[in-house]
Amino acid sequence: MESIIHSSSFDDARVAVEVGRTRGMPPKETVLDLARFIDKGVRVKLSGGREVTGTLKGFDQLLNLVLDGAVEHLRDFEDALKITEETRELGLLVCRGTSVMVVSALDSMEEIANPFLAQEEI
């Protein structure tokens, strides 16, 4: 009996795609179209509450992201839900796809007034 040894999980994924094609199944595609954000600024919210911004350099179907010039936005020590103005330079960063919660373009972000706060004061 002949055994096949795969050198990496990439080879396994490639074999799985090839098997799927031979069975008549379409290749798997991601729901997100992150290709339009390549070489553009993105903000990524990670599980655990961390937020980072950087230039998206690459991604894969598992949502693993590569950010260049990454900056972490630090949280307030007293209120973990608030992001402070303090930042920490991270440089080149690989975000594991299982921890990515939100990916948004930096050019589409703007701060707005809290509409719920206005209703409470009335």
- Please report whether residue 118 resides in a domain: no
- Please report whether residue 27 resides in a domain: no
Evaluate whether 9 touches 15 at the Cβ level (below 8 Å). Answer: no
The pLDDT tens digits of the residues spanning 82-93 come to: 777 888 999 999
Give start and end residues of each alpha helix (H) in 33-111: none
- Please report whether residue 83 resides in a domain: yes
pLDDT of residue 1: 40
Q: How many domains does the chain have?
A: 1
The answer, yes or no, to whether residue 64 has pLDDT greater than 70, is: yes
The domain that contains 79 carries what CATH number? 2.30.30.100
Contacts 24+ apart (CB under 8 A), 18-26: none
The pLDDT tens digits of the residues spanning 5-63 come to: 433 444 444 444 454 455 666 666 656 688 888 999 999 999 988 999 999 999 988 89
Residue 12 sits at φ, ψ, to 5 deg, of: -60, -45
Average per-residue pLDDT for the chain: 77
